[in-house]
Amino acid sequence: MDESEQVSDLIGDIYDAALDRSLWLRVLEKTCEFTKAQAASLTANQSTRALIYFDWGFKPGFVEAYHQTYVMINPLHVPAILYSKPGQVHALGEFMPFEEFAQSRFYKEWGAPQGLGDGMFAVFEKSATSQVILSVIRAERDGRIDDRAKRRLGLLCPHFRRAVTIGRIIDLHKFEAAALADSLDGLAAAVFLVDANGHLVHVNAAGLATLDRGDVIRAVGGRFAAVDTKADAALRDIFIKAETDEPAISANSIDVPLSAHDGEHYVAHVLPLTSGARRKAGTTYCAVAAVFVRRAELDLPHPLQTIASVFNLTSAEMRVLMMIVQLGGVREVAPVLGISEPTAKTHLQHIFEKTNSRRQADLVKLVAGYMSPIASVPPGTKSEPQAEVR
């Protein structure tokens, strides 16, 4: 297949995986083939831990080891939280030179034994509490991530993002695709099955309640209609494309913002139902797409972004700060990050100066104050003992 055929085939598989989680492994395998990579994973990251939902290409035992040990010392963890942009493909080298990454304990003990090398990733959801990340990693023998690999992954990312979002909403791994509409009434999200002209062919209980209110979505002549006229036009265009040209659904239509009469903000996610396993659900109801409508989440910065901004900490200083909080002193942190003890001490001294702190215990309290809404020490609180750099 040429590139356009590969993209079209992969997009169909990605949307099928939104309904059938068992298909994600094949999707990740084909994504690796398309981008000349060895391994890939879909991961939910939080500040100090990660859960790999689906993975392909890693050696046996290494995913479990990542959960238990290595997520804590992955030097890319903090920069990904701080500087990644949702929906955009980032290469490892954008955050630190690969040569520096290769000196870290994480790479020496986890990446190198698997023959892994350079990598790239894309964040699909980014909130104050977590991220959902697609990581794609090349074999060391295949060299660095290049523009061609980033461009290819970028073609898939909008569709990955939509499928991941919808999959997290509906959680349909226990249901057959053909039974989609029969399982919708138990969902909290409002769901509407529509044909190419936007006519409603099935609405779940939450959707009926939404229509009854009429403040976000209305039924006009039996047709799905957003109160927001701009959003309504965008959705009508998506419905037409869903019937005839699934890959043509653009990145801009992943999340369609909706406004209610009272100023509340909602978002609509559209899942095409015209090919693959999803076709069973669509043909039963003459539907080309399922529209999921839910209240928009607050776009709050991650606490680590707030810490870096408030105290003007660099990426290197943030890495040292989080390792100090998690592991201890300079002697423990330096080998984990692959830097010398004098370099770690210099970073730590800068952190003390910028945060007006004197002890490592103060840094632990400071981070805890930002990370936990019920922490006993509010953000910015400092104590006054003697300075400690060990």
Angle (CA) 84-85-89 rounded to 5° is: 80
Alpha-carbon 37 to chain mean position: 19
Instruction: Give the DSSP H/E element, type plus range, for residue 43.
Output: strand 39-45
CATH fold label, 3-170: Beta-Lactamase (3.30.450)
Cβ–Cβ < 8 Å for 191, 294? no
Same fold, 177-295 and 303-371: no
Angle of helix 315-327 relative to helix 360-371, nearest 10 degrees, comes to: 100
- What class has domain 303-371? mainly alpha
pLDDT < 50: residue spans in the chain: 170-178, 282, 373-390
Alpha-carbon 223 to chain mean position: 33
Rounded to whole angstroms, what are the CA distances from 97 to 2, 20, 76, 91, 121?
33, 38, 11, 10, 15
Domain boundaries, given as residue ranges, for the chain: 3-170, 177-295, 303-371
Give the tens place of pLDDT for each residue, 353-390.
Answer: 999 998 888 888 888 777 654 333 333 333 333 334 44
What tokens appear for 125 in the block? 């959801």
CATH fold label, 177-295: Beta-Lactamase (3.30.450)
What tokens appear for 342 in the block? 């004098």
Give the tens place of pLDDT for each residue, 104-126.
Answer: 999 999 999 999 999 999 988 76
Say what the pLDDT of residue 51 is.
66
